Amino acid sequence: EPEVTQTPSHQVTQMGQEVILRCVPISNHLYFYWYRQILGQKVEFLVSFYNNEISEKSEIFDDQFSVERPDGSNFTLKIRSTKLEDSAMYFCASRGDGSVGPQHFGDGTRLSIL
């Protein structure tokens, strides 16, 4: 069964540094998402992406965040200057075209900011 893959599985970074989290969505999917989940808390929507542009973003997704689909395969989330509170699990998800079907999630990147 096709799956969403994310790399790295764990990223440790100093506060203030830039990080790029990578995702390879399911190949025929057209809608892409990033979520984060702080330990012990709910899954929070960050951004959705369709047709090579952001379609929706949450209040969390401020100017420090950006997304890109550079090569038609990868879907990346960049955090420009990390803060301690960015420490969380980051999940990528994708879904196919047509009616609103479910999202399929990658197994996440654990981001630890020191």
Partner 1 sequence: RKEVEQDPGPFNVPEGATVAFNCTYSNSASQSFFWYRQDCRKEPKLLMSVYSSGNEDGRFTAQLNRASQYISLLIRDSKLSDSATYLCVVNLNTGNQFYFGTGTSLTVIP
The answer to whether the beta carbons of residues 88 and 111 sit under 8 Å apart is yes
Question: Which listed range, 12-20, 21-29, 66-74, 101-109, lies at the site for partner 1 (CB under 8 A)?
Answer: 101-109
Strand partners, 95: 31
Strand bridging mode 19-24 / 31-37: unpaired
Nearer to partner 1, 14 or 41 (CB): 41
Is 31 a binder of partner 1 (CB under 8 A)?
yes
Strand partners, 7: 22
The answer to whether the beta carbons of residues 104 and 93 sit under 8 Å apart is yes
Is 59 a binder of partner 1 (CB under 8 A)?
no
Nearer to partner 1, 58 or 76 (CB): 58
Minimal distance in Å, beta carbon 104 to partner 1? 7
The answer to whether the beta carbons of residues 74 and 6 sit under 8 Å apart is no
Q: Which residues in this chain contact partner 1 in the complex, by CB under 8 A?
A: 31, 33, 35, 41-45, 48, 50, 55-56, 58, 89, 91, 99-108
